[in-house]
């Protein structure tokens, strides 16, 4: 069982020739609404990759919240601990996507900000049942810290995807088994530039010194840099024609969790996650882009 704790949003996506500059208005192309939110994306990615998933989250008592829960259930995700806030709307994300597939995102947290530590106490059965707990940073840091403490005390392996980027305490990082920042997140956490392979190694080592047992820095088209305190390894990704990078990192993390719970080596797990993420960027939208296990296995066989 993989227990994912995090956010759920409804994404409103507008495709444009490029990302608008401050103060600029661009006439766009296609508009799309899709299920999103980093926590929800990772839960869906794990479920579609073949994992048994429990999702702990908070949505509003509105149509977006109801649709989100129905969507999770269709993917086979256990929803017993998705709480519905009375005084807050469900989270919403506004996303611009350029012709090159890059994106710019603004988020109204809504009910995500209402997922509080006491909710996790109510959801202890989901944590107790898990072999792995997967977290991100779109819910309150107090909730994330409590989740890490609960999982750590129970001997559960914890993966933290530190996104959106924010500073984290050394105490929190020291309880993380696998930390999965991208380049900008690793840079913020370490106060080091992370543009090259060598710079990524230095950042990973610093995160290891801060207490993270294993570090995976995702490097976009270059792949991912893995560090475990003793060795570093660059694991290349797959070259595809990107349409939309929204949820690529989430797809990577959810798929990684599944591969590791299946007993794959870290290198095999990262390759599996690379394949899932590569498929996702060839499609538009967050959860609509997440591939099935069959698609991931077929992609790996062909590459």
Taking Cα atoms as reference points, which of 177, 214, 258 lies closest to residue 1? 258
Phi-psi region of 15 (alpha: psi -120 to 50; beta: other; left: phi over 0): beta
The one catalytic residue in 11, 75, 244, 250 is 250
Return the residue matching tokens 């794990």. Answer: 46
**Would you state the structure tokens that stand for residue 169, as one six-digit string?**
């305490």
Half-sphere exposure (Cβ direction) of 52: Cα atoms closer than 13 Å: 7
Identify the helix (H) or strand (E) that includes residue 299: helix 293-302
Burial of 200: CB neighbours in 10 Å, binned 0-12, 13-18, 19+: buried
Return the residue matching tokens 């995160």. Answer: 207
First-to-last C-alpha distance (Å) of the chain: 29
Return the residue matching tokens 């409590």. Answer: 146
Return the residue matching tokens 């001997």. Answer: 155
Residue 250 annotated as catalytic: yes
Taking Cα atoms as reference points, which of 239, 229, 227 lies closest to residue 278? 239
**Would you state the structure tokens that stand for residue 190, as one six-digit string?**
């370490």
Taking Cα atoms as reference points, which of 216, 220, 225 lies closest to residue 197? 225
Burial of 131: CB neighbours in 10 Å, binned 0-12, 13-18, 19+: middle
What positions carry a catalytic annotation? Answer: 250
């Amino acid at each position: 069982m993989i227990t994912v704790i995090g956010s759920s949003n409804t994404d409103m996506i507008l495709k444009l020739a490029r990302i608008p500059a401050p103060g600029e208005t661009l006439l766009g192309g296609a508009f799309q609404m899709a299920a999103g939110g980093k926590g929800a994306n990772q839960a869906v990615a794990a479920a579609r990759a073949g994992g048994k998933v429990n999702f702990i989250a908070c949505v509003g008592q509105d149509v977006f919240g109801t649709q989100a829960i129905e969507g999770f259930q269709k993917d086979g995700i256990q929803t017993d601990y998705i709480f519905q806030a009375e005084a807050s709307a469900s989270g919403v994300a506004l996303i611009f996507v350029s012709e090159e597939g890059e994106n710019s995102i603004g988020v109204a947290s809504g009910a995500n900000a209402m997922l509080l530590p006491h909710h996790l106490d109510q959801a202890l059965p989901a944590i107790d049942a898990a072999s792995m707990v997967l977290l991100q940073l779109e819910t309150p840091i107090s909730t994330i810290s409590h989740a890490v403490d609960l999982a750590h005390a129970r001997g559960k392996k914890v993966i933290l995807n530190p996104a959106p980027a924010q500073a984290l305490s050394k105490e929190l990082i020291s309880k993380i088994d696998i930390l999965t920042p991208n380049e900008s997140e690793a840079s913020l956490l370490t106060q080091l530039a992370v543009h090259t392979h060598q710079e990524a190694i230095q950042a990973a080592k610093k995160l290891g010194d801060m207490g993270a047992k294993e570090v995976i820095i995702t490097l976009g088209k270059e792949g991912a840099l893995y560090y475990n305190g003793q060795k570093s390894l660059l694991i290349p990704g797959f070259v595809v024609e990107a349409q939309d990078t929204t949820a690529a990192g989430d797809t990577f993390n959810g798929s990684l969790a599944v591969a590791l719970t299946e007993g794959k080596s870290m290198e095999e797990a990262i390759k599996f996650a690379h394949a899932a993420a590569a498929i996702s960027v060839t499609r538009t939208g967050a959860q609509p882009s997440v591939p099935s296990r069959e698609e991931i296995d077929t992609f790996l066989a062909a590459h």
